[in-house]
Amino acid sequence: MKKYLLKDALEKGYAIGAFNFATLEVLKAIIASAESKNSPVIAQVSESGIAFLGDDYLKGIIESARKNCRVPISFHLDHGKSFDIAKRAIDIGFDSVMIDCSMLPFEDNVAITKKVVDYAHERGVFVESELGSIAGIEDDLKVADKDSLYTSPIQAKEFVERTGTDSLAIAIGTKHGAYKYSGEAKLRFDILEEIEKLIPDIPLVLHGASGVEARDVARLLEMGVDIQGAKGIPEELLAKASKHHICKINGDTDIRISLLVGILEYIGNNNSNIDYRKYLGAGMTEVANLVAHKIDVYGSANKA
């Protein structure tokens, strides 16, 4: 197997941004920013993203991107819920897959994750798994606050040893979606530090980590988009996490917001335009600016 991108991040103390895409435009914007920052990057697709793009189209996109991208890029399945979807992503050509059985009993999570790990490793593909439950909504994933659980450091050690997973997504207080917090955001760095001590060689992953920039929320509100109350993770917390063993930080909601801001602002200023290349291009610019900024926050610039 080739070297796992997250291993370099673990060794050198930075995090790689993992950005979701479901259109070619968004992927091109992500890659452009990674190249401009000389940063490795992870482009990830959810189950619903695969359904939206289609297996054959996605396979062609991945092959083309790998050939043309000038920095290390890894394609990743985000929140795969079954062995079958993990197998499907591997067949498409993903470099790594996430199997997320975190809502199942511990033993079931171990068993399914181990099955995916065995299948993936035989084919040179890395596996991310999850222990603990992150609240919020992302695509088909919905977890109520009352059902969310912090990751147990002791269980994390056992889980890694029994499954052979390459990286572990942990729950330390992040939330999926645009409406993460009504009050102050807090991350349990005490839990993170305990997990680091027990499994020091395993890259850790932070899901539900979109920033949801206040400036972009204000811009959308001005344009009539009902996103009142949207709030994300403060950048200083993400920057701090990236200096620990958090080696991959996911972003999806921010991408969606940035794309929409660019499109709507362009249309608002050019309301006679019907050329979708123009307003999609404006959206791509906003996404590219966001990704470039996140790369700086995570410390991965010039790490390619």
Which residues participate in catalysis according to the annotation?
Answer: 78
CA angle at residue 121 from 139 to 127, to 5 degrees? Answer: 30
DSSP string of 62-81, one letter each residue: HHHHHHH-SS-EEEEEEEE-
What is the per-residue DSSP string for 117-162? HHHHHTTT-EEEEEESB--EEETTEEE-GGG-BPPPHHHHHHHHHH
